[in-house]
A = this chain, B = another copy of it.
Amino acid sequence: MQVTFLGTSAGVPTRSRNVAGVALRLPQRAEIWLFDCGEGTQHQLLKTDLKISHITRIFITHMHGDHIFGLMGLLATAGMSGHAQRVDLYGPPGLERYVRDTARHSETHFSQSVDVHPIESGMVFEDDRFSVRCRPLDHRVPSFGYCVIEKDSPGHFNVEKAAEMGIPSGPLYGKLKRSERVILPDGREVSGEEFCGPTIRGRRIVYCTDTIYCENAVKLAQNADLLIHEATFARQDEELARQSLHSTTVMAARVAQEARVKKLVLTHFSPRYEGGSTMRINDLLGEARSIFPPTEMAHDLMRIEVARHNGKDAVG
């Protein structure tokens, strides 16, 4: 699973950072999911190898402009590209009305089907390989964190051992792969577990923004392979964070630590640290690492591979 940061600035774009947007490329599918869609998200996608026509689902955290003002333009472009058959949108209850009103005012007629799903805490989406859950966070407007959960899959099937034991390939292999007990044509009874490695645990990627430190973020992020958490402010600006219900670097790191995630990536930085502030944006990283060492800072177009793993730590 591949994560691409399309925007890493809070509130307004800067010369080097766009407003919020994260793309998730799913494994073994020509399918991309977006998380938030600030103005200019489609422009950022043009700088990558990600195709707008491959976007099938868009998950919106909350209704502030820096997270949604790129949505309608992206949907219009996706429609014109002529490939997308359908896009599913997930977000707070106000999202449906926003999309409907904006489409009406701008006379945007989607050529693809656009379905909006209002979310509340719990399961948002599920298919045979993935589920997505959300939990409310703590911000000035209703805001939700998302957890993408890849389902566990059977361990490696030892074909060589099956062949050595003279088990004929075909439907029997399928049963053994699913760890079932099987009676062979010659009467022997074998268990699939003899041929299968340990179950491969699915990956978990969690996206929490905008929010101040909250218990729900910790619960949502439990044991995640990757936690993407906002860190609008430096430690010294905690008072600003409390006023605006955003996180400091320290708050984000505490969520990561308490949730025992494998890796934390900070994003959604206040533009104040790019300008004349005595605190510079790269100083934020040190603050978080002093609490949670496996932390990185996102920058626009940064890409992270989240590898499958099996017991051992394989987050790339």
The interface of chain A, by Cβ under 8 A from chain B, is: 11-15, 18-19, 38-40, 42-43, 46-47, 63-66, 68-70, 72-73, 76-77, 80, 94, 97-98, 101-102, 105-108, 140-141
Rounded to whole angstroms, the CA-CA distance of A229 and B107 in the bound complex is 22
Rounded to whole angstroms, the CA-CA distance of A68 and B46 in the bound complex is 20
A69 CB to closest chain B CB (Å) equals 5
Docked-complex contact B18 and A43, CB < 8 angstroms: yes
Contact residues of A: prevailing secondary structure: loop
A106 CB to closest chain B CB (Å) equals 4
A41 CB to closest chain B CB (Å) equals 9
16 extra interface residue pairs, beta carbon distance < 8 Å, beyond A38-B73, A64-B106, A65-B72: A18-B43, A39-B39, A39-B42, A64-B107, A64-B108, A65-B108, A66-B76, A69-B73, A69-B106, A97-B105, A98-B102, A98-B105, A98-B106, A101-B102, A102-B102, A107-B141
User: Which residues in B have their C-beta under 8 angstroms from that of A73?
Assistant: 19, 38-39, 65-66, 69
A-B CB proximity, top 4 nearest: A98-B105, A39-B73, A65-B106, A69-B73
Rounded to whole angstroms, the CA-CA distance of A164 and B94 in the bound complex is 75
Rounded to whole angstroms, the CA-CA distance of A107 and B64 in the bound complex is 6
Minimum CB distance partner of A98 in chain B: B105
